[in-house]
Homo-oligomer: A and B are copies of this chain.
Amino acid sequence: MSSSLASLLVSGTFLLPTWRQQDCLENGAVLITGSTITAVGTRSELQRSHPGIPELHEPHGLIMPGLVNTHTHAPMACFRGLADDLPLMTWLQDHIFPLEARLDRPTVRLSALLSMAEMIKSGTTSFCDMYLFAEEVAAAAATAGLRCWFGEVLYDFPSPCYGALENGLRLTAELLDRFRDHPLITATVDPHSVYTCAPGLLEQCGRLAADHDSLLVTHLAETESEVHTCRSRYGKTPVEHLDSLGLLGSRTLAAHCVHLEESDIERFADRNVKVSHCLESNLKLASGVAPIPRLLERGVTVSLGTDGSASNNDVDLFSEMSSVAKVHKGVMLDPTVMSAETTLRAATIGGAEALAAAASIGTLAPGKQADLIVIDLDQPHLTPLYNLPSHLVYAARGADVIHSLIGGRPVMKNRQLLTIDESEVIARMGEALKKLRPGG
């Protein structure tokens, strides 16, 4: 432990360093030095062994790992509630695409920042984003102090960001290099999907990701129509198609995965592919319910994603956890699937594993990054308390998160954002919309 780095003790009534009730520590504390957790234990123990260190003590507080959102389109916050309850193609073609074509860099950055304000205020400390003008997302994350994986979305047609496809591949390579050693931000390779990317593009993406030892992030098997299109074009399921192009591996993060054959699930298990489960978006857009209990049974790593605010309409992982734990039970008619612990695992270390970052985030342990949140348990809806994972999944809300630290840096204290000027972002969003929708 370097003595030149600032230390902080964060303590509360409970510490839940993992997703398991059995690991819960009463009167627990986390010692942070610089960006790193240096000790985890009881408050009195750590106070004794490290006297005189500044302390953030929250009576009635629960200290836990920050949540990890593995699939977002943060800049889509500006479309939240613009159009709902519509068939997917009407929604996209009549409402989202026309506005996306008019997006500019400042609006993307502002809208991403708005999503990040919401993420921090609902307990997320890491997220993985795919969008246009993705550099702006990275810049906003640097401002917000959020841990971020980001990729410029790639597809066969010209992009409002980079124009011709070859520029997109060049931009991605450049971003991978530029962010290689960034403490918070990591670039990824993001082909949009099997239905918007020709096999050649997918192969190029696969090589780029392999060369840079980077994550490859893509939408996969989201809708029935995607599966149908893929089968008729290539005679393969989307999963088989990606596999035939060499794109399925332990650094492949596949979002959605709603429509999988049993053989696709086996393939995911064999190739160690990671899944981002975006239940609320899949429900709202009527795509269906992904076979998550079956994937888990086969040992596939499952993480949670909110998708963008245009299709959810939020980026709140507490709400997502509650939906995930309930919906699979109701759909499978089995109350034992997706237990609170299984669900909390997916939202924490599962997300870390999906991002190939389990060595540094996802639980609270010495040597890991100090990405943690503090929940205020002293509330009617969290009373009484029998089991922490149960409360976190079934009863807690994003608004119960009162403090948040990312890489040891406080980003929210007593629900006041410290890295984002919330009122300014809200006010500027109003101005931006006047430009985006002049008739609006």
Contact = CB atoms under 8 A, between A and B. Distances in A.
Contact of A314 (B283, B394, B399): B394
A38 interface: no
Interface string A302-334: 000000010011111001001101110111111
A418 interface: no
Main secondary structure on A side of the interface with B: helix
A85 B335 contact: yes
A398 B386 CA distance: 23
A321 to B, nearest CB: 12
Given A390-B313, A391-B81, A380 B284 contact: no
Nearest to A341: B85
A81, A309, A327, A379 interface centre (most CB from chain B within 10 Å)? A81
A338 to B, nearest CB: 8
Contacts of A430: 384
Contacts of A394: 81, 84, 284, 312-314
B426 A77 contact: no
Contacts of A280: 326
Interface in A74-109: 77-78, 80-88, 91
Given A399-B399, A426-B378, A386 B284 contact: no
Given A81-B395, A326-B280, A394-B314, A433 B384 contact: yes
A288 B387 contact: no
A423 B38 CA distance: 35
A397 interface: yes
Interface string A359-388: 000000000000000000011110111110
A429 interface: yes
A285 interface: yes
Interface string A27-52: 00000000000000000000000000
Interface stretch (A114-122, A135-143, A244-252, A263-271): A114-122
Contacts of A332: 286
Nearest to A223: B333
A186 interface: no
9 contacts: A81-B384, A84-B339, A84-B340, A87-B335, A282-B330, A284-B330, A286-B332, A309-B395, A327-B330
